[in-house]
Amino acid sequence: MADETALWTWFLFHAGLSPQRAKTLLESWDQRGLTLRAVLEALPPQANALGLTPEEAAKLRPPRDLPDGAALRWNEPLYPLGLRQLPLKLRPALLFYTGELSLLMRPIIYLAPGPLDAETQELMQETVSILLGENLLLAAFRESPQAALLLEEMTASEGEALLFAKQGLARLTLPEQEHALAQAGRLLILSPLSPTTPPNPALDDVLQQVAAGAALRTVYNSPPEKTEPGVTALLLTASPTAHAPQNLRVVTHAAEAALWLTERPVAPASAVLPTPTTASSFDLTADPPTDPPPTPAEALRVLEKGGRVPEALKKRLFGG
């Protein structure tokens, strides 16, 4: 029978079941240690034991030619841990991708989309420049100001990135810059949408929740209307505001942002759940600090507690 991932694509999007019903069944079978291939081979005699109605079982006859598209299933090791914690309705059963999938071994830092004024753009650019090339995976939505800035910095330096697409990947033609970076193993593009799904602004909110769920930390440049529970986030802006949600850390200096994003060992998003000790290390309910940002020397001392500090980061901290 066909490849398991190709079967999932057909089952989720072409078998005639609602997406929620299909995901509920996949989760149930996964908990019982059953592959979709094994389930299909057991039909129709075992339909009732597998939680299927006779009408559903009758639909589950995959065609000889199954849908194409590289995808990561939610029961595979590289699937981001944070996504596993999302409600079933939001949790993508498949992440379609193009580019270097192994980049998901790194902690994801999500740069949430939003307008950038000139000062905040300069601040964001400096922060991205510090972090690119470190053992992190900076992520943004394609065609957002954050993605444009990220790609610009990547052409001038080393480092890798993740871009989220707002459409199915079969609908996406990569511009030359993104194609070259993907071919070089420096760029991964993900979409939780069926490959043929066109862009739809009505899906933006869900897609952004998925992106934030995949990330270990989220960086906003303007105050969001809300932040998802459990999201570790900062507001990086040149224009502090009193309207920021209480659980956001407000940062106005690139060195302070880099320090906050790297001050604790960060496990890859597809690795293990954070322990209570790790989670409590970040007090996101406290009021934003009013103390001045750390001096370069203070920032370097804190960073050195976590191990060797790259020369590039030292130069950035001291304006080199």
Same domain as 191, residue 47: no
Whole domain around residue 29: which residue ranges? 4-68
pLDDT 10s digits, 159-196: 999 999 999 999 999 999 999 999 999 999 999 999 99
Strands (E), the chain: 71-73, 94-99, 108-111, 137-141, 161-164, 187-191, 217-220, 233-236, 249-251
Quote the number of domains for the chain: 2
Are 113 and 259 in the same domain? yes
Written as one letter, the residue type at 152 is E
Question: What global pTM score does this model have?
Answer: 0.81
Q: Is 62 left (phi over 0), alpha (psi -120 to 50) or beta?
A: beta
**Residue 138 shares a structural domain with residue 255:** yes
CATH of the domain at 182: 3.40.50.450
- Assess contact for 267 and 273: CB atoms under 8 A: no
Residue 22 shares a structural domain with residue 169: no
112 and 45 fall within a common domain:
no
pLDDT digits (tens, 9 = 90+) for 21-56: 999 999 999 999 999 999 999 999 999 999 999 999
Per-residue confidence at 2, pLDDT binned at 50, 70, 90? low
Residue-wise pLDDT tens digits, 126-166: 999 999 988 899 999 999 999 999 999 999 888 999 999 99
Task: Give yes or no: residues 248 and 103 share one domain.
Answer: yes
198 in the same domain as 106:
yes
Residue 83 has pLDDT above 60, yes or no: yes
> Shortest CA distance to 262 belongs to which of 274, 271, 254, 252?
254
